[in-house]
């Protein structure tokens, strides 16, 4: 065994290099397929872990370096269960799969059991890739790729922290509680996929502006939320007019499109003002055209240097003014990552403008 450990110590740097290359390759393949992921991480088996596995297997290995399939390992943590299947297809297309040592842990559970779920693939370089000069020295290497969702990963991490690796190891007094938690995680995975699909449907409907004459359909397009606000900014004449008033007041327009953080703040101000729909917001902005130039000019006069913005920021300045009576101090802004200097200036000018208007 000592000779095997010494040998692994010598070649471990090579496995570390292989592991990093596999991780980067998988990341590129996943990005090319437009699959969103939470985390991709790699680990090379430590010397201690290598030795421990030999001992645990009771000298089962005659040549552990060649027989162990997890000396290199990559873990891919995804948001949705159906993305696991997409990663599986990529692995099958791009690598040689060691079917004998690959396993879907979820399929080992009986229909009335809940617990650890993760897909483990043992992969080897394809014949084509293994002939490339940068991969040639890794032609015989294998790596274990674990694929799981964020929720499955949370279950695996917590159960590992509790040191229960098998269901039969769990004290009976805790089994029912842990199985119930596992079933909730499995259900939540399904529900998050459902929410994502519904979200995508809503994005399509709102982006395309599809509406029937039904009250439900009209309500969907008029409700004030991040999706409908983005659509409103793309089409609103009042947004464009207010931006022009800001330019007349000596602001400069920057080239970026609006940002979610400013749109989110606009919605927050609308909540304070009890504005729940896009038409209600549009009415407020239409009325704001009568004073927007003077408000922007007052803000601009306090700023001695160049001040640029885009339509979302200009609308946000309007909303701050409309909501100023509900804003106690600059903390309201700084918690949203405004600089203290800008927050103080906008707060004071809005308050004075409200008083003098």
Residue 75's beta-bridge partner residues? Answer: 41, 146
On the CB side of 23, CA atoms within 13 Å amount to: 18
Among 141, 166, 191, where does a domain finish? Answer: 166
11 and 160 co-located in one domain = yes
8 and 87 co-located in one domain = yes
228 and 128 co-located in one domain = no
- Tokens 């803000």 locate to 299
**3-state SS string over the chain?**
CHHHHHHHHHHHHHHHHHHHHHHHHHHHHHHHCCCCEEEEEEEECCHHHHHHHHHHCCCCCCCHHHHCCCCEEEEEEECCHHHHHHHHHHHHHHEEECHHHCEEHHHHCCCCCCCCCCEEEEEEECHHHHCCCCCHHHCCCEEEEEEEEHHHHHHHHHHHHCCCCCHHHCCHHHHHHHHHHHHHHHHHHHHHHHHHHHHHHHHHHHHHCCCCCCHHHHHHHHECCHHHHHHHHHHCHHHHHHHHHHHHCCCEECCCCCCHHHHHHHHHHHHHCCCCEHHHHHHHHHHHCCCHHHHHHHHHHCCCCCCEECHHHHHHHHHHHHCHHHCCCCHHHHCCCCCHHHHHHHHHHHHHHHHHC
**Per-residue pLDDT, 255:** 79
In 3D, which of 311, 318, 336 has the Cα closest to residue 257?
A: 311
Among 145, 166, 187, where does a domain finish? Answer: 166
Whether 277 has a pLDDT exceeding 50, the answer reads: yes
Summarize the confidence of residues 250-262 as an average pLDDT.
85
Whether 54 has a pLDDT exceeding 70, the answer reads: yes
Least confident of 21-30, 91-100, 316-325, 329-338: 329-338
Query: Quick check: is 210 in a domain?
Result: no
**Per-residue pLDDT, 145:** 95
Residue 169 pLDDT level (bands cut at 50, 70, 90): low
**Per-residue pLDDT, 114:** 42
159 and 262 co-located in one domain = no
Give the number of other CB atoms < 10 A from CB of residue 165. Answer: 11
347-350 contacts, C-beta under 8 A, 24 or more apart: 347/320, 348/302, 349/295, 349/298, 349/299, 349/302, 350/295, 350/317, 350/320, 350/321, 350/324
Whether 234 has a pLDDT exceeding 80, the answer reads: yes
User: What's the CATH code of the domain at 23?
Assistant: 3.30.460.10
**Per-residue pLDDT, 208:** 73
Residue 309's beta-bridge partner residues? Answer: 253
Residue 107 pLDDT level (bands cut at 50, 70, 90): low
Whole-angstrom Cα distance, residue 67 to residue 142?
10
104 and 30 co-located in one domain = yes
Residue 170 pLDDT level (bands cut at 50, 70, 90): low
Least confident of 57-66, 81-90, 162-171: 162-171
Whether 279 has a pLDDT exceeding 90, the answer reads: yes
Summarize the confidence of residues 7-36 as an average pLDDT.
94
* Torsion sign over Cα 277, 288, 259, 265: negative
20 and 127 co-located in one domain = yes
Query: Quick check: is 194 in a domain?
Result: no
Among 148, 166, 184, where does a domain finish? Answer: 166
Summarize the confidence of residues 177-182 as an average pLDDT.
77
For residues 268 and 220, the model is more confident at: 268
**Per-residue pLDDT, 108:** 45
Query: Quick check: is 161 in a domain?
Result: yes
For residues 350 and 178, the model is more confident at: 350
150 and 270 co-located in one domain = no
- Tens of pLDDT, residues 123-151: 999 999 999 999 999 999 999 999 999 98
The answer to whether 193 and 235 have CB atoms below 8 angstroms apart is no
Domain that holds residue 99: 2-166
For residues 214 and 71, the model is more confident at: 71
Query: Quick check: is 247 in a domain?
Result: yes
Query: Quick check: is 86 in a domain?
Result: yes
**CA 107 from centroid of its chain's CA atoms:** 27
The mean pLDDT of the chain is 86
Query: Quick check: is 201 in a domain?
Result: no
State the pairing for strand pair 72-78/142-149.
Answer: parallel
Q: How many domains does the chain have?
A: 2
Whole-angstrom Cα distance, residue 267 to residue 16?
48
State the pairing for strand pair 103-104/95-97.
Answer: unpaired
347 and 230 co-located in one domain = yes
Whether 299 has a pLDDT exceeding 90, the answer reads: yes
Query: Quick check: is 212 in a domain?
Result: no
Whether 116 has a pLDDT exceeding 60, the answer reads: no
Residue 110 pLDDT level (bands cut at 50, 70, 90): very low
129 and 234 co-located in one domain = no
**Per-residue pLDDT, 106:** 53
Query: Quick check: is 256 in a domain?
Result: yes
**Per-residue pLDDT, 103:** 82
For residues 308 and 168, the model is more confident at: 308
**CA 228 from centroid of its chain's CA atoms:** 21
27 and 155 co-located in one domain = yes
Summarize the confidence of residues 205-222 as an average pLDDT.
66
Residue 355 pLDDT level (bands cut at 50, 70, 90): confident
Count of positions (residues) in the chain? 357
The answer to whether 296 and 342 have CB atoms below 8 angstroms apart is no
Residue 90 pLDDT level (bands cut at 50, 70, 90): very high
- Tokens 């938690």 locate to 181
For residues 337 and 173, the model is more confident at: 337
Q: What percent of the chain has pLDDT over 70?
A: 88
**Per-residue pLDDT, 113:** 46
**Per-residue pLDDT, 344:** 94
145 and 229 co-located in one domain = no
77 and 141 co-located in one domain = yes
């Amino acid at each position: 065994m000592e000779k095997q450990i010494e040998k692994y110590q010598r070649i471990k740097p090579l496995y570390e290099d292989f592991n990093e290359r596999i991780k980067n390759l998988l990341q590129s393949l996943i990005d090319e397929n437009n699959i969103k992921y939470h985390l991709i991480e790699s680990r090379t088996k430590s010397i201690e872990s290598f030795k421990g596995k030999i001992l645990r297997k009771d000298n089962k290995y005659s040549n552990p370096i060649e027989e162990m399939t997890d000396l290199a390992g990559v873990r891919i943590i995804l948001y949705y269960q159906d993305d696991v299947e997409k990663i599986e297809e990529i692995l099958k297309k791009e690598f040689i799969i060691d079917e004998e040592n690959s396993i879907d842990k979820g399929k080992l559970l009986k229909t009335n059991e809940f617990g650890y779920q993760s897909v483990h693939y043992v992969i080897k370089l394809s014949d084509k890739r293994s002939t490339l000069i940068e991969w040639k020295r890794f032609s015989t290497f294998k790596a274990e790729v674990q694929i799981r969702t964020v929720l499955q990963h949370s279950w695996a991490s917590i159960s590992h922290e509790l040191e229960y690796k098998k269901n039969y190891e769990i004290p009976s007094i805790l089994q029912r509680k842990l199985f119930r938690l596992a079933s909730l995680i499995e259900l939540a995975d399904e529900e998050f996929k459902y929410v994502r699909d519904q979200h995508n449907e809503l994005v399509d409907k709102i982006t395309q502006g599809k509406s029937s004459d039904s009250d439900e359909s009209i309500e969907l397009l008029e409700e004030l939320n991040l999706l409908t606000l983005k659509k409103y900014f793309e089409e609103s004449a009042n947004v464009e007019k207010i931006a022009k008033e800001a330019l007349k007041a000596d602001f400069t327009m920057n080239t970026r499109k609006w940002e979610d953080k400013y749109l989110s703040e606009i919605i927050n101000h609308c909540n304070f003002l009890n504005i729940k729909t896009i038409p209600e917001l549009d009415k407020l902005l239409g009325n704001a055209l009568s004073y927007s130039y003077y408000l922007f000019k007052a803000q601009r006069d306090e700023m001695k240097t160049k001040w640029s913005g885009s339509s979302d920021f200009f609308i946000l300045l309007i909303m701050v003014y409309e909501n100023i009576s509900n804003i106690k101090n600059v903390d309201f802004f700084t918690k949203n990552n405004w600089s203290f200097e800008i927050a103080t200036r906008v707060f004071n000018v809005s308050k004075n403008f409200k008083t003098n208007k």
